[in-house]
Amino acid sequence: IISMSPLNVGIVGATGAVGKEIIGCLEKKGCSFPINNLRLFGSKRSAGRKIETCKFGNIAIELFSEEATRECDVIFLAVDGDFSLAHAENICKGDDGPIVIDNSSAFRYKDGIPLVIPEINAETTKRKKLIANPNCTTAIGLMAIWPLHKLFGLSKMVMSTYQAASGAGQPGMDELMEGTRAVLNGERDVAEHKVFAHPLPFNVIPHIDKFQDNGYTKEEMKVTWETRKICGLADDFPVSCTAVRIPTARAHSENIVALFERPVDLAAARKALEEAPGVKLVDDVENLKYPMPLTATGQYDVEVGRLRQNIAFDNALEFFVCGDQLLRGAALNAVLVAEAMVKNGSLKAKNAT
């Protein structure tokens, strides 16, 4: 733990899936910064409710107000984009405002606001007050891409995703579980659907978020836009994605074909992935070891495997990635951003001299 004055930490949206995981990360991960006080903020519906934590005791949820959050040193926003747009900049404004780390898409593409995966571009957080967390799909994939990009120089990327129901929040998970149960019990031939465009049990749906004019969905374009910004690539850098919802509960999977400027070396690629922080190489096909949602769920590291030279393109690698989208793709990434900002001096207690 870094020697410093303890921080007052706040979470807005503490009862949601990401908010709960942020609490879990602050408790279990062993943060590199000391915490003086953890405050949880919510809506009128959840205000007054008590959340039980191992490390911080029972915490009563406070009714959200910008004034109350500004008393903290750092605020994690685990809310939707509209809420963030309405409040994030007001919370962090001025020298006396806290650092705000926003999990929504509200500020990801705004100039001057860093979009951060700490293992890649932590330096962009220096002297900033508002930080955007990336889309979960991008965060998981780039953990594997970045060490290979440093080694061989990425020139193009094609990604296909296999995304869990919980990417659509608790309602998505409930619809999958209840629909599966109804079909297996013989209550229905095909499950009902409200959250997803079609029934998800015993199905896959090649449609996540709204379709854009170019035929891609917004989820797919998020991967393109965010890869460019996080990795410091050109605005027209070629990245293509197809995003598919599958009937698993948690952890997203991705197949990635990465083309490089320089000749690829499989042994060097394997070594780079083995040594990369936040990455676990799971690639022993003789013993049937490869990334899967079952093994990636609840894990902080992103699993990477099925690593091979692509036989259709020159200087290309193909591999499979699996990561817990609520952790690496959201809560864990946000906590790591805070740690990086403590280390670079951007985040400190207001009462620190």
Task: Name the residues annotated as catalytic.
Answer: 136, 252
How long a stretch of residues is the chain? 353
DSSP character string of 50-83: EEEETTTEEEEPEEP-HHHHTTSSEEEE-S-HHH
Strands across the sheet containing 302-309: 239-245, 154-163, 252-260, 316-323, 302-309, 279-281
As given in the structure block, the two tokens for residue 126 are: 């220096």
Q: Whole-angstrom Cα distance, residue 281 to residue 148?
A: 13
Q: Whole-angstrom Cα distance, residue 195 to residue 59?
A: 31
Which amino acid is it at 167? G
- Work out whether strand 154-163 and strand 252-260 pair parallel, antiparallel, or are unpaired: antiparallel
167 touches 252 (CB < 8 A): yes
- Work out whether strand 316-323 and strand 252-260 pair parallel, antiparallel, or are unpaired: antiparallel
- Count CB neighbours of 225 within 10 A: 18
Q: Whole-angstrom Cα distance, residue 307 to residue 321?
A: 10
> In terms of Cα–Cα distance, which of 76, 67, 86 is closest to 11?
76
Q: Whole-angstrom Cα distance, residue 157 to residue 338?
A: 29
148's enclosing H/E stretch is helix 136-152
20's enclosing H/E stretch is helix 17-28
User: What's the first-to-final CA gap in the chain, in angstroms?
Assistant: 19
Q: Whole-angstrom Cα distance, residue 70 to residue 210?
A: 35
